[in-house]
Amino acid sequence: MKQAQIDQLCIDTLRMLSIDAVQKANSGHPGTPLDAAPVAYCLWQRFLRYDPADPDWPNRDRFVLSAGHACALLYSLLHVCGVKAKGPSYSPGDRLAVTLDDLKTFRQAGSRCTGHPEYGWTSGVETTTGPLGQGAATSVGMAIAERWLAATYNRPGYDLFSHNVYALCSDGDMMEGITNEAASLAGHLKLSNLCWIYDDNHITIEGPTGLTFTEDAAARFAAYGWNVARVSDADNLARLDDALQAFIDTHDRPTLIIIQSHIGQGAPHKHDTNKAHGEPLGAEEVRLTKEFYGWDPDADFKVPDGVVAHFCAHVGKRGEIAHAAWKKLFAAYRAQYPDLAEQVDQMQEREVPAGWDAALPTFAADAKGLATRDSSGQILNAIAAHMPWLLGGAADLSPSTKTDLEFDFAGDFQAPEGEQAVSYRGRNFHFGLREHAMCAIGSGMSLSRLRPFVSSFLIFTDYCRAALRLSSMMELPLISIWTHDSISLGEDGPTHQPIEQIASFRAMPGMVVLRPADANEVVEAWRVIMRMKDRPVCLLLTRQAVPTFDRSIYASAEGVSRGAYVMADAVGNKPDVLLLATGSEVALCVTAYEELKADGIKARVVSMPSWELFENQPREYRDIVLPPAITARVAVEEASGFGWERYTGFDGAVLAMDSFGLSAPSKVVAKHFGFEPALVVAAAKAQIAERRSAT
């Protein structure tokens, strides 16, 4: 068979598998797989360095389907390329990541071919995508990770890390704000290992893009500092080849390839093209499409002879050779640089190095204390100095979130200038005012096995929610550090004072929220964080100083690891009322506890820095901390009270916020909203009185 014929046969196989999957499911998006099949084929067959036998090897090229609605195309690729199943989501045994049966059960329960790509469920899916823009922004994090890994671990003659990152984007991706945040930063950082392929097919769900999107995307990306190439015909493999080669040959900036296509490229459609984008073609049009491509209209899920072998001979063989060479190189590297090789191994396994906690500080009792953002900054630096791949930054707020790494060898991650190639080795990242992109980029770095942290004020997580939700869905140990965690931040007022944000993160499946009460609880919170391998963490910290408790009087902060613990108790461990709090409000409860004690009232203070960790404890432990028989309970938190009834019961008292905040000094704000010891004491006494009157 001639080269042009086998090329076309493979492209059409991808197309037909995709429309068959969508049609059988009676759900999905067939249009983009039809028009983008040629570029996917060209990229995978001629450029992508990827070993189907081991889809996780560290120096593979990454392919991100940011246009996640086109996932039928990705699943078809994974099938015909023979990508092997790998990971705990699969039963033991030798099988393909995506079988023909998986394609036949597209979008059905249990299928590897989910409605949008899901990382960790289907081998070969590099990141979960679907919400437009997320994949593109995450790919920037992957490109950043490669640059950092190369600058940090490559040595003369040992290019351990040299991979490229490709993302297939849609018109919708180009419109989303997160894409533009990420593109701006990628251009600034001159990430020449990053290539976005923009499938410019002029259609979205509502209709032609001319309804809403008439800007010059090429000019915009050129202004961002990107190299921009155009391909006017999506079916022209020679032009696609030239554009991708131009990316390979560009060494000073990222590349955007704009490919002009049409939904259902070349196929005869009786209906509007937006139908092909957003819903199945229908049986009649599937037949017409197959006939147009010279396909047997009665053949469903057909993979013609020679197609799999052709993919195996190109992407498969190229990846096998590259992977084998890399393993040989890494073995030699290990012999010459054993310490560095061990770090690479530990990263891949998400382990922490020996002695990572050797320099953790302890904090002496101090009634004045310090802000938990300040103690966290000290702890972060103590850990990062002993863990080279712990790195990150803030959305233009690191001086305020205290997330600067200040030891001499930390450095800033920036594009190299002149001979300063070490710039990509820096561990302080400056994300600019790009909170949403920052979090997606952090996920991309985590997917590349770094241990990134991102940071801003808690209120600005409203800009980050989609990216943080996906980090939780992917079970990534992304560290998010959010400061200014309550109305007690003070004068910036209600626009900056978080209310509902804590409750929203507690509602997010998989997310761990840690709101420590003092400096020593922050230490223990960081111990929890560093042991996390498969859950993201939101660390919530104060702007204002909080007391450092005397742990010879109150319980050890080690209880943080269990989510909640008895910090102060009544004589005989038989309290009449429970005072529950997180973060800075624990000090308020401790003061109230001492006043109640002076009045002869038996109270217990429970510090509850993490509801999620507490819920993971055995029932026996939870009943010891919160005895079911003691129903007189008061919860205190300078945030929405939503959810506290889980611990107080519906008859308990919850001192919380039911409005937005106030612009005033923090002490004035706290007094205005009733966060004072006297009110906690009064609530506790009222709870006890109610229980006694009921009996």
Q: Cβ(253)–Cβ(415) under 8 Å?
A: no
Structure-block tokens of residue 629? 């028989």
pLDDT above 70: percentage of residues in the chain = 97
Query: Is residue 264 very low, low, confident or very high in pLDDT (cuts 50, 70, 90)?
Result: low
The mean per-residue pLDDT over the stretch 656-679 comes to 97
Would you list the DSSP string of 380-393? HHHHHTT-TTEEEE
Query: Is residue 206 very low, low, confident or very high in pLDDT (cuts 50, 70, 90)?
Result: confident
Using the predicted structure, report yes or no on whether residue 273 has a pLDDT greater than 50: no
Q: What confidence tens digit (pLDDT) does each residue in 345-362 have? A: 999 999 999 999 999 999
The mean per-residue pLDDT over the stretch 617-641 comes to 98
pLDDT at 275: 46
Angstrom CA distances, 391 to 116, 380, 383, 399, 420, stand at 30, 10, 10, 16, 20
**Which residue from 321, 331, 409 is spatially nearest to 160, judged by alpha carbons?**
331
pLDDT at 115: 97
Four-CA torsion 380, 384, 390, 396, nearest 10 degrees: 50
Q: Cβ(307)–Cβ(10) under 8 Å?
A: yes
All residues at 6 or more sequence positions from 550 whose CB lies less than 8 Å from its CB, including other chains: 365
pLDDT above 90: percentage of residues in the chain = 93
pLDDT at 695: 74
∠509-511-513 over CA atoms, to 5°? 130
CA 462 – CA 459 distance, rounded (Å): 6
**CA 349, chain centre distance (Å):** 18
The mean per-residue pLDDT over the stretch 224-236 comes to 96
DSSP 83: P
Using the predicted structure, report yes or no on whether residue 265 has a pLDDT greater than 90: no
Q: Is 151 helix (H, G, I), strand (E, B) or coil?
A: helix
Q: What confidence tens digit (pLDDT) does each residue in 117-176 have? A: 999 999 999 999 999 999 999 999 999 999 999 999 999 999 999 999 999 999 999 999
Q: Is 607 helix (H, G, I), strand (E, B) or coil?
A: strand
CA 300 – CA 65 distance, rounded (Å): 25
All residues at 6 or more sequence positions from 620 whose CB lies less than 8 Å from its CB, including other chains: none
Angstrom CA distances, 541 to 249, 402, 469, 513, stand at 46, 10, 20, 11
CA 398 – CA 433 distance, rounded (Å): 11
Q: Are strands 633-640 and 165-169 parallel, antiparallel or unpaired?
A: unpaired
Residue with tokens 């055995």: 618
Longest C-alpha distance within the chain, in Å?
Answer: 94
**CA 309, chain centre distance (Å):** 36
DSSP 313: I
All residues at 6 or more sequence positions from 312 whose CB lies less than 8 Å from its CB, including other chains: 52, 81, 82
Burial-class residue 429 by CB neighbours within 10 Å (0-12, 13-18, 19+). Answer: buried
The mean per-residue pLDDT over the stretch 212-240 comes to 96
CA 374 – CA 201 distance, rounded (Å): 50
φ/ψ (deg, to 5) at 229: -125, 155
Query: Is residue 270 very low, low, confident or very high in pLDDT (cuts 50, 70, 90)?
Result: very low
CA 325 – CA 307 distance, rounded (Å): 26
pLDDT at 417: 81
Q: Cβ(582)–Cβ(656) under 8 Å?
A: no
CA 122 – CA 110 distance, rounded (Å): 11
φ/ψ (deg, to 5) at 62: -105, 135
Domain architecture of the chain: domains with CATH? 3-323 (3.40.50.970), 366-547 (3.40.50.970), 559-694 (3.40.50.920)
**Which residue from 577, 539, 367, 555 is spatially nearest to 458, judged by alpha carbons?**
539
The mean per-residue pLDDT over the stretch 648-666 comes to 97
All residues at 6 or more sequence positions from 40 whose CB lies less than 8 Å from its CB, including other chains: 14, 73, 74, 77, 168
Dihedral over Cα of 415, 420, 425, 426: its sign: negative
Using the predicted structure, report yes or no on whether residue 420 has a pLDDT greater than 70: no
∠126-131-134 over CA atoms, to 5°? 50
Structure-block tokens of residue 485? 């965690």
Q: Cβ(41)–Cβ(197) under 8 Å?
A: no
Dihedral over Cα of 288, 293, 299, 302: its sign: negative
**CA 425, chain centre distance (Å):** 22
**CA 410, chain centre distance (Å):** 24
Angstrom CA distances, 100 to 104, 280, 588, stand at 6, 19, 61
Q: Is 302 helix (H, G, I), strand (E, B) or coil?
A: coil
Amino acid at position 479, single letter: I
pLDDT at 263: 61
List the beta strands (DSSP E) in 142-290: 165-169, 194-200, 203-204, 207-208, 227-231, 255-260
Query: Is residue 274 very low, low, confident or very high in pLDDT (cuts 50, 70, 90)?
Result: very low
Structure-block tokens of residue 563? 């989510």
- Helices 435-447, 465-473: inter-axial angle, 10-degree rounding: 20
The number of helices, as runs of H, and strands, as runs of E, in the chain is: 26, 20
CA 502 – CA 460 distance, rounded (Å): 12
CA 576 – CA 631 distance, rounded (Å): 9
The mean per-residue pLDDT over the stretch 481-503 comes to 97
**Which residue from 6, 15, 69 is spatially nearest to 39, judged by alpha carbons?**
15
Q: Is 416 or 507 the better-scoring residue by pLDDT?
A: 507
DSSP 530: H
Burial-class residue 435 by CB neighbours within 10 Å (0-12, 13-18, 19+). Answer: buried
> In the Cβ-directed half-sphere of 589, how many Cα atoms lie within 13 Å?
31
Catalogue the active-site residues. 435
DSSP 588: H
Q: What confidence tens digit (pLDDT) does each residue in 535-587 have? A: 999 999 999 999 999 999 999 999 999 999 999 999 989 999 999 999 999 99
Q: What confidence tens digit (pLDDT) does each residue in 631-655 have? A: 999 999 999 999 999 999 999 999 9
Angstrom CA distances, 604 to 467, 563, 613, 627, stand at 39, 16, 20, 11
Query: Is residue 205 very low, low, confident or very high in pLDDT (cuts 50, 70, 90)?
Result: confident
The mean per-residue pLDDT over the stretch 83-93 comes to 93
